[in-house]
């Protein structure tokens, strides 16, 4: 028969904590299928021919130079043209054509950091992120294109949805860190971490028990403040690991952050019960 401690450990690792992970974006791929971030081999082309990307009225891709990549699609050598006037787009990603002012389809090659004009770091400026989000939504919101062509309405909807997804992903440290790992070809699966330290799992179980037994908002708030402190410490550690390129360490720390983020949400639910 299992001892009480063994039972508690088994319960903690398999049944207690199964927080839902945020959905992760699919691997970024070149819209002309030139390469994928999941490829491990080199891919290269020599071409001066214009190719039309899959899907009707997509970008025209001008491959003017030799393109080589190990894991990600090179954007510096791919020239994009406006779907409407065919003029060369001067920025990437381009939301509007500077010549005819028509909204463009989303650039599937662009990372969320590029779309939101943020530094590719774990400790990005969230205030700048919010300003960028509001700026883009003011110009791309579908309501602005109700009198435009059907194509422009479709592109504004897809652009607006992409901006929303990029903003939500980068806004919170957990989803931001997971996305940064995915850009490096690393994913963390859903469910309990089988490699989690037993002491760590016991600590989490005790925190959850204390939260369930909290009899006042003051007790619940104390647990919430302690959890915020742990999340702040983890944020610094994850940032350091990512800056050093220590992806496995960052992955382990993000797994811990997942659990504490789940407790933080439970604290909010508990506090709402006392209102």
- Tell me the pLDDT tens digit for each residue of 20-48: 444 444 433 333 333 333 333 333 333 33
What pLDDT does 230 receive? 97
Q: Structure tokens of 155?
A: 């592109």
Q: Kindly report, residue by residue over 164-205, the tens digit of the pLDDT.
A: 999 999 999 999 999 999 999 998 776 556 567 889 999 999
Strands 60-63 and 43-45, bridge-based pairing? unpaired
The rounded distance, in Å, linking the Cα atoms of 254 and 246 is 12
Domain containing residue 269: CATH number: 1.20.1280.20
In a domain, 216, yes or no: yes
Distance, first Cα to last Cα, the chain: 44
Q: Do residues 166 and 116 lie in contact, with contact meaning Cβ atoms separated by under 8 Å?
A: yes
Instruction: Choose one of 44, 65, 93: the last residue of a domain.
Output: 93
Let me know if residue 132 belongs to a domain: no
Q: Is residue 33 part of a domain?
A: yes
Identify whether 54 is part of a domain.
yes
Range of the domain at 204: 191-273
Task: Look at residue 18 in the predicted model and tell me its pLDDT.
Answer: 47
Q: What is the pLDDT of residue 108?
A: 85
Instruction: Count structural domains, the chain.
Output: 2
DSSP letter at 54 equals: S
Answer whether residue 238 is part of any domain: yes
Model confidence pLDDT, tens digit, residues 41-68 = 333 333 333 434 444 444 443 433 333 3
Residue-wise pLDDT for 70-126, tens only, equals 334 444 457 789 999 999 998 889 999 999 999 999 998 899 999 999 999 999 999
Domain boundary among 46, 70, 93: 93
Residue 208 inside a domain? The answer is: yes
Reference 107, options 130, 127, 88, 80; nearest CA is: 80
Rounded Cα distance between 51 and 3, Å, is 67
Strands, E, within 73-214: which ranges? 78-81
What pLDDT was estimated at residue 92?
86
Residue 112 is assigned to a structural domain of this protein: no
**Is 179 inside any structural domain?**
no
Looking at 93, 110, 128, the residue that finishes a domain is 93
pLDDT at 11 over 50: no
Record the pTM.
Answer: 0.70
């Amino acid at each position: 028969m299992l001892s009480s401690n063994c039972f508690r450990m088994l319960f903690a690792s398999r049944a207690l904590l199964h927080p839902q992970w945020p959905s992760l974006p699919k691997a970024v791929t070149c819209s002309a299928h030139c390469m994928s971030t999941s490829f491990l081999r080199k891919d290269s082309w020599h071409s001066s021919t214009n190719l039309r990307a899959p899907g009707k009225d997509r970008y025209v891709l001008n491959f003017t130079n030799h393109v080589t990549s190990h894991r990600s699609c090179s954007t510096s050598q791919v020239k994009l043209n406006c779907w409407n006037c065919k003029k060369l787009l001067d920025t990437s990603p381009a939301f509007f054509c500077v010549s005819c002012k028509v909204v463009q389809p989303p650039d599937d090659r662009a990372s969320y950091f590029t779309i939101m004009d943020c530094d590719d770091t774990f400790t990005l400026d969230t205030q700048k992120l919010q300003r960028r989000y509001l700026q883009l939504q003011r110009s791309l919101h579908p309501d602005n294109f109700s009198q435009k062509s059907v194509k422009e309405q479709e592109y504004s909807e897809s652009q607006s949805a992409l901006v929303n997804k990029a903003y939500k992903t980068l806004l919170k440290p957990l989803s931001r860190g997971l996305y940064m790992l995915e850009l490096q070809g690393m994913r963390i699966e859903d469910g309990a971490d089988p490699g989690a330290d037993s002491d760590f799992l016991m600590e989490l179980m005790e925190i959850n028990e204390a939260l369930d037994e909290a009899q006042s908002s003051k007790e619940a708030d104390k647990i919430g403040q302690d959890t915020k402190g742990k999340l702040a410490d983890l944020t610094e550690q994850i940032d350091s690991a990512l800056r050093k390129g220590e992806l496995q360490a960052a992955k382990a720390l993000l797994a811990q952050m997942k659990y504490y983020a789940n407790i933080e949400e439970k604290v909010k639910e508990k506090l709402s019960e006392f209102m």
